[in-house]
């Protein structure tokens, strides 16, 4: 167990425990003005299920939790090619702010990331949140070379020219490919272009094959972990597989997210989407995304977002044509040096 006694502040840093849930929820609610118990409870359960993919620490004064930090390992989301930590949530009790607790929690997170081979810490925040932005700046974060774009699920209108944009995007050898048809067209598009179903364990080998053909890497462990998560809790993750000619030819993985700095409403985050190059320009990507939008109503999620490199002008143009747009959230990154021998 990691222990970091700090003097004269009289608190220690230790791993977050299930018994800390109520206190973490209370600190978060006092800061956010609303309770996010369900979201925080899910993050704690995920850490218990996959401890190697989650870093969660508490600052403790005596027997009282006075601060916390939660992060998870990115092992394939958004096309990430090296391990990274995603800082999701951090909070300090109001009467203990300004005493270095947040920095000590971040140092514990940094040390954990170095030990586990992570190359960077990533996060996001609203450009209006001056307190978080100042904290990021003080810790050495920089703006990431990417943009966060999102769209309302029921926003925009379906236009014929979107077919051409999506077909062009599908023909490119990229991992991520999106579309944003109008809500009334979701079921029709899915029927017309592919048989889209929820991922099943039997799909794993085929999805790994398609993914390897697109990315050039074997990401079986990452895909298997996300599939397991989808099986365990359908209220958190949406994972879809597209079938054509009796074979799996595409996949989409997204998750419902109620946390992160500056979130004011639930959002679905598209982590990854791929289409077998042999089925490019046949509407498979459109069918997957249209089915995703159709499914989100059951999760009471009204927005979808994803992260796009600024250099990928073609993908940005495509997403904008689908009704996506850059909003108030900014993406940040901080490099982690290799752990000293």
* 256 and 157 both lie in a single domain: yes
Dist CA 272 CA 176 (whole Å) = 6
In the chain, the number of structural domains is 2
Angle among Cα 228, 260, 219 to the nearest 5 degrees reads 35
Under-50 pLDDT residues of the chain: 1, 3-8, 155-191, 340-341
**Would you say residue 125 lies in a domain?**
no
* 258 and 173 both lie in a single domain: yes
Dist CA 279 CA 299 (whole Å) = 30
**Would you say residue 250 lies in a domain?**
yes
Placement of tokens 């810790």 in the chain: 139
Dist CA 121 CA 141 (whole Å) = 9
* 65 and 163 both lie in a single domain: no
**Would you say residue 269 lies in a domain?**
yes
Q: Residue 87: what are its φ and ψ, rounded to 5°?
A: -75, 115
Dist CA 192 CA 158 (whole Å) = 15
Q: Which CATH number fits the domain that encloses residue 223?
A: 3.40.630.30
Going by C-alpha positions, the residue among 218, 201, 200 that lies closest to residue 209 is 218
* 92 and 168 both lie in a single domain: no
**Would you say residue 20 lies in a domain?**
yes
Of 118, 139, 159, at which residue does a domain stop?
118
Task: Provide the pLDDT for residue 286.
Answer: 78
- Cβ neighbours of 65 (radius 10 Å): 23
Task: Provide the pLDDT for residue 66.
Answer: 96
207 with 308: CB under 8 angstroms?
no
Question: What is the pTM for the complete model shown?
Answer: 0.75
- Domain of residue 317: give its range: 148-327
């Amino acid at each position: 167990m990691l222990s970091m006694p700090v003097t004269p502040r009289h608190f220690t840093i230790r791993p977050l425990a299930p018994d800390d849930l109520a206190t973490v929820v209370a600190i978060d609610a006092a800061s956010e003005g609303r309770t996010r118990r369900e979201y925080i409870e899910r993050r704690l359960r995920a850490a218990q299920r996959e401890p190697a993919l989650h870093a969660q620490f508490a600052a403790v004064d005596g027997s009282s939790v006075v601060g916390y930090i939660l992060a998870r390992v990115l092992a394939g989301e958004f096309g990430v090619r090296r391990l990274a930590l995603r800082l999701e949530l951090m909070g300090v009790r109001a009467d203990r702010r300004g005493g270095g607790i947040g920095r000590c929690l971040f140092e514990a997170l940094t040390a954990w990331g170095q030990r586990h081979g992570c190359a960077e810490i990533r996060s996001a925040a609203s450009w209006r949140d001056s307190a978080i932005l100042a904290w990021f700046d003080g810790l050495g974060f920089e703006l990431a070379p990417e943009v966060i774009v999102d769209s309302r699920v029921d926003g925009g209108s379906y236009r014929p020219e979107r077919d051409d944009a999506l077909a062009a995007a599908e023909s490119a050898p990229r991992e991520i490919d999106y579309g944003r048809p109008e809500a009334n067209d979701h079921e029709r598009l899915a029927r017309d272009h592919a048989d889209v179903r929820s991922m099943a364990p039997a799909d794993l080998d085929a999805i790994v094959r398609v993914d390897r053909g697109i990315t050039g890497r074997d990401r079986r462990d990452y895909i298997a972990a996300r599939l397991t998560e989808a099986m365990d809790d359908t209220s958190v993750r949406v994972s879809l597989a597209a079938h054509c000619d009796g074979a799996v030819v595409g996949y989409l993985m997204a998750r419902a997210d109620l946390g992160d700095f500056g979130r004011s409403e639930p959002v679905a985050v598209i982590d990854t989407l791929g289409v077998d190059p042999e089925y490019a320009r046949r509407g498979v990507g459109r069918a997957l995304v249209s089915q995703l939008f159709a499914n989100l109503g059951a999760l009471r999620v009204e927005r979808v977002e994803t992260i796009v490199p600024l250099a990928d002008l073609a993908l940005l143009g495509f997403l904008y044509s689908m009704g996506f747009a850059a909003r108030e959230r900014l993406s940040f990154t901080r490099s982690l040096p290799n752990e000293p021998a």
